[in-house]
Amino acid sequence: MSDELCFLPATELRARVARKEVSPVEIMRAVLARAERMQPSLNCFITLCGDEAIAAAGKAEREVMAGGPLGLLHGIPFTVKDLVNTRGVRTTFGAIPYKDNVPDHDAVAVARMRAEGAILVGKTTTPEFGTKCLTDSPLFGRTRNAWSDARSSGGSSGGAAVAVASGIAPLAIATDGGGSTRIPAACNGVVGLKQSNGLIPHSQVHDAFGNQTYVTPMTRTVADTALMMQAMSGEDASDPWSIGIPQGDFVEGSAPSGNLRGRKIAFCLAPSGRPVAADVAASFKGALAGLQALGAEVEEMPADGFEIEPIWRAINHTAWRARFEQLAADHGDVLSEAFMKQLALATRVSGVDYQRAMFDRTSLFRRIQTLLQRFDILAMPTITRTALPIDQDLFGTIEIDGRVFSDVRPNWFPWTMPFNMTGHPAVSLPCGFGADGLPIGIQLVGKFRADIELLRVSALFEASQDLLGRWPSQTG
């Protein structure tokens, strides 16, 4: 029974708690037992909060029995990526210099989850400061894919995705600066949303006005993503992009009602010159057919003009250099080689280069806006092949169907970075499995701040795929 509880979605757990069919303590004991059993093989946590979680679950149980009003997520376990501040629980940013850092406050998203009754299980792994698409660090080692210990979990929210996929907790707070939620979601077969800019306030970002990083939900189902969006969204004074956005009804509005008749979807397999594995292409083709079966009109869009990685790199690496240059000077001996190499790359970007990249970012936004005046949704593979080898080097080569390419980022996830820069909502959904038995994801992109409609389309697609009952066999 305990493992059955671990794989139930949050929507079902909250219903059972409300009906007094299962107690928050019973759920938490099951989740913590699974976490302790799986952690040695998966390595998806930096910190587990066992005693605190059990105490919180006991309090939640007493509140249920008292018969008072319950929060949206009352008694539901959740995890938080170790980039996101948690009051009284160490937040290391995946970096040795911060291994004993304990914040005195919660990030806004965490505070809102707790306010709705969710209970923190632990902090999930991230590469140093979330700066790469692979989840490993000198602080904790490597996080393994939920489906294969020979493969990477993706990154940088690899720990969050693995914890969700392996049945440790149904809800995870992740982050996404260039695909860091959607990449590991695709690698591990879960739902990863990067919402529209401003929908969930980002209270830790250093450049709020030029922001392209997001605090995000990671779940097993679209309905659970909607629950997290309901809990975490809404304006906050810390984030200028959040101010003035009305609170939407994510739970009701994103239910899989109706069909896709009258909806137009533009698709593209890959940007010009970029590879895609044959099994990914086949799954993507099947997913498009599924969207058509739901009533959508599907049309191919041009593949040129999406060479975005150099623009993303100029903006992102410059921000990293500004944030971490002194840290690297003081602690370079305990930071990873990949982290130090990325900071070194930023020294080649001038102020003029940076501003030109920002101009290009504006042009990209307007181009996507033009497309979304003709179409309701854009569709593309989330990543171009299944999860990379566990020992993959960020600066090494990448192999796709026997062909070797020199750059990981633009060849593995060319489609995730654009929507960090434009702010449009983008979600990775499971859409099949590769020749190696590992998950494949499709990315759907919606109109700016039309996240509820994007989730409704996603829920209809999810219901048509019949993939929710298949979970990793290696996770015991």
Return the pLDDT at 211.
Answer: 94
> Residue 447: which of 386, 383, 378, 348 has the closest Cα?
378
pLDDT band at 473 (very low <50, low <70, confident <90, very high): confident
- Catalytic, out of 81, 132, 194, 447: 81
pTM of the entire structure?
A: 0.98
Of 146, 145, 231, 131, the C-alpha closest to 177 is 131
**CA quadruple 475, 192, 412, 333: dihedral positive or negative?**
negative
Determine the length of the chain: 476
Alpha-carbon distances of 468 from 32, 286, 305, 409, 432, rounded to whole Å: 23, 17, 35, 29, 11
At 140, the amino acid letter reads: F
Active site residue 233: no
Do 462 and 431 contact (CB within 8 A), yes or no?
no
27, 58 contact by CB (below 8 A) = no
Going by pLDDT thresholds of 50, 70 and 90, the confidence category of residue 471 is confident
What φ, ψ does residue 29 adopt, rounded to 5°?
Answer: -60, -40
Q: What is the pLDDT of residue 352?
A: 96
Give the list of residues 6+ apart from residue 60 with CB closer than 8 angstroms, or none: 17, 24, 25, 74, 75, 117, 119
Which helix (H) or strand (E) element contains residue 354? helix 351-374
DSSP track, 403-455: EEES-HHHHH-TTTHHHHHH---EEEEEEEE-TTS-EEEEEEEESTT-HHHHH
Q: How far apart are CA 96 and CA 103, in angstroms?
A: 16
To the query of whether residue 203 is one of the catalytic residues in this protein, the response is no
212-239 residue pLDDT tens: 999 999 999 999 999 999 999 999 999 9
What is the percentage of the chain residues whose pLDDT exceeds 90? Answer: 96
Structure tokens at 241: 């992009």
Count the domains in the chain. 1
Residues 6 or more apart in contact with residue 15 via CB below 8 angstroms: none
Distances (CA, A) of 62 to 72, 75, 115, 169: 16, 11, 16, 22
Digit-coded pLDDT (tens) for 10-43: 999 999 999 999 999 999 999 999 999 999 999 9
* Catalytic site residue from 180, 196, 283, 336: 180
Calculate the alpha carbon distances from 279 to 381, 432, 433 in Å: 11, 9, 8
Residue with tokens 């210990």: 149
The backbone torsions φ and ψ at residue 253, rounded to the nearest 5 degrees and listed phi first, read: -70, -25
Tokens of 1: 């029974």
pLDDT tens for each residue of 307-320:
999 999 999 999 99
Asked if the model's pLDDT at residue 324 lies above 60, the reply is yes
Range of the domain at 17: 2-475
What CA–CA distance (Å, rounded) separates 113 from 115?
Answer: 5
Q: Which residue has the tokens 């829920």?
A: 459
Determine the 3-state secondary structure of 217 from DSSP.
strand
Which of 137, 148, 153, 156 does the annotation list as catalytic?
156
- Say if residue 156 is preceded by a cis peptide, omega within 30 of 0: yes
**8 A C-beta contact, residue 384 and residue 270:** yes
Nearest Cα to Cα of residue 105 among 94, 118, 93, 91: 91
pLDDT, tens digit (0-9, with 9 covering 90-100), for 352-393: 999 999 999 999 999 999 999 999 999 999 999 999 999 999
Distance CA 108, CA 95 (A): 22
Chain Cα centroid distance, residue 412? 16
Position 467 confidence tier, pLDDT thresholds 50, 70, 90 = confident
If 0-12 CB within 10 Å is exposed, 13-18 middle and 19+ buried, where does residue 364 land? buried
Three-state SS at 123: strand
C-alpha to C-alpha distance for 346 and 298, rounded to whole angstroms: 40
180 is an active site residue: yes
pLDDT tens for 147-194 read 999 999 999 999 999 999 999 999 999 999 999 999 999 999 999 999
Q: What per-residue string of b and e applies to 264-296 under the rule 16 or more CB within 10 Å gives b?
A: ebbbbbbbeebbbbebbbebbeebbebbeebeb
Rounded CA gap, 273 and 252, in Å?
41
CATH number at 340 reads 3.90.1300.10
Distance of alpha carbon 174 from alpha carbon 214, whole angstroms: 8
Distance of alpha carbon 28 from alpha carbon 6, whole angstroms:
9
Strand partners, 176: 214
What is the 8-class DSSP label of residue 333? G
d(CA 355, CA 238): 25
At 468 the pLDDT is: 77
The string of pLDDT tens digits covering residues 413-448 is 999 999 999 999 999 999 999 999 999 999 999 999
Average pLDDT of the chain is 96
Classify strands 136-137 and 141-142 as parallel, antiparallel or unpaired: antiparallel
Residue 476: predicted pLDDT: 45
Q: What was the pLDDT predicted at 8?
A: 96
Q: What is the mean pLDDT of residues 85-92?
A: 98
Point out which residues pair with 297 in neighbouring strands.
264
pLDDT tens string 272-301: 999 999 999 999 999 999 999 999 999 999
